[in-house]
Amino acid sequence: MNVILIRYGEIFLKGNNRCFFENALRSNIIHSLKDFKFELKKISGRYELSEYEETQERAIIDKLTKVFGIHSISVATKLETDYNSIKEECCKIKLNGQSFRVTANRASKIFPVKSMQINKEIGEIILNNNPDAKVNLHTPDVEVLIDIRENGFTYISTSVITCAGGMPLGTAGKGLLLLSGGIDSPVAGYYLARRGLSIEAIHFHSYPYTSELAKQKVISLAQKMCDYMGSIKMHFISVTHVQEEINKKCDRDFMITLLRRMMMRISQKIALNNGAGALITGESLGQVASQTLQSINATNAVVDIPIFRPLIGFDKQDIMDVAHKIGTYDISIQPYEDCCTVFLPKNPVTKPKIEKVLAEESKLDIEALLQKSLDSEEIMIIQN
């Protein structure tokens, strides 16, 4: 019988909380496979997924590679532990000239033959059946894993598929992601979701200066992120009146700084109203004028909750590579305008002095602007 073995790593470190993490992982696996028939059983230190339709195996594997907390999976043949049956099963392995090694793991020490001896004997059987194969103990093309478990069963597999890793989604509280239509913010959300943080997202628009298509693009991005996050509650907020006011009353070179301070204030309010304990942005040090240390300080100063910036030390190319991997890149590069690019000043300040920022900001009625933005809120639950 073929089964899928699901391995999780870091959860082991969690001592008394282990059950909490394991249960979260279990329910996330079940949720991500809601369209399939299967059975999920816990065997020591792993999950065993069985009773699925063979024709759906690829699709199931594809889903599992995106469940945070799973480190690797293997399709394995499961048989009752018996050395002759193990040998018989290994006779079927076809290597097509690839190099290999056998790694036996005897979790059940009741089994009389030692691991080293199993490796040697099974290796010989495989060589006999694949005369053009070679043993390579250090960098084999194929690792034949023979996992002899305490439950009386042995699992034999010939490939390990690396999965997303991290911690189960929802085990680290909730964060609010500032999701623009760009390349960076979806990647930032991915990294923190991968550490177990549930994600809600907030998007600022300047309708009618920004278009309906720009909004659709953000919805598509959130949908793509749902491959990993299941569903995302999205908050759409207008900052049109904020930009118009700044444009009218303030030194326009401070547009981005003042707008971003408003974005942070609004985000903090929405976060706290929705049980989120942190904000997340896609900022990367020095990437643009608004991401110098001075600019970051100026926007940071208006919020009390932590702002997570997982990409702060990333190069653009590194971020783009991850965007490709998680499938958001092609959506992000669609050419729709962002609210930050509307009213873009000719010479945005790169090192805003806080006294000057405060002087410019004092020309605005912050509370009224904030309230008007909050009143514009539109909520959408995005699912894939």
Amino acid 357 reads: V
Q: What character string, x for contact with Mg ion (CB under 5 A) and - otherwise, covers 141-180?
A: ---------------------------------------x
Task: Give the one entry of ligand ATP, Mg ion, none that residue 282 binds, where binding means its C-beta sits below a cut-off of 5 to 8 angstroms depending on kind.
Answer: ligand ATP
Restricting to residues 177-196, which ones interact with Mg ion according to CB under 5 A?
180, 182
- Report the residue closest to ligand ATP, judged by CB: 182
**Residue 325 CB-half CA count within 13 A:** 14
Shortest distance (Å) from residue 192 CB to Mg ion: 18
Restricting to residues 321-340, which ones interact with Mg ion according to CB under 5 A?
338
Amino acid 181 reads: G
Q: Which is nearer to ligand ATP, 163 or 326 (CB)?
A: 326
User: What whole-number distance in Å separates Cα of residue 2 and Cα of residue 52?
Assistant: 9
Shortest distance (Å) from residue 130 CB to ligand ATP: 50
List residues near ligand ATP by CB under 6 A. 178-180, 182-185, 202-204, 281-283, 287-288, 290-291, 338-340
Q: Which is nearer to ligand ATP, 184 or 200 (CB)?
A: 184
User: What whole-number distance in Å separates Cα of residue 251 and Cα of residue 371?
Assistant: 23
Shortest distance (Å) from residue 281 CB to ligand ATP: 4
- According to the binding rule CB under 5 A, does residue 210 interact with Mg ion? no
Amino acid 176 reads: L
Q: Which is nearer to ligand ATP, 78 or 261 (CB)?
A: 261
Q: Which is nearer to Mg ion, 74 or 185 (CB)?
A: 185
Shortest distance (Å) from residue 176 CB to ligand ATP: 10
Restricting to residues 233-262, which ones interact with Mg ion according to CB under 5 A?
none
Shortest distance (Å) from residue 321 CB to Mg ion: 18
State yes or no: cis peptide before 335, omega within 30 of 0.
no
Name the residue among 342, 375, 167 with its Cα closest to residue 266.
375
Residue 76 · residue 105 · CB < 8 Å: no
Task: Give the one entry of ligand ATP, Mg ion, none that residue 245 binds, where binding means its C-beta sits below a cut-off of 5 to 8 angstroms depending on kind.
Answer: none
Judged by the rule CB under 5 A, the positions of this chain that interact with Mg ion are 180, 182, 338
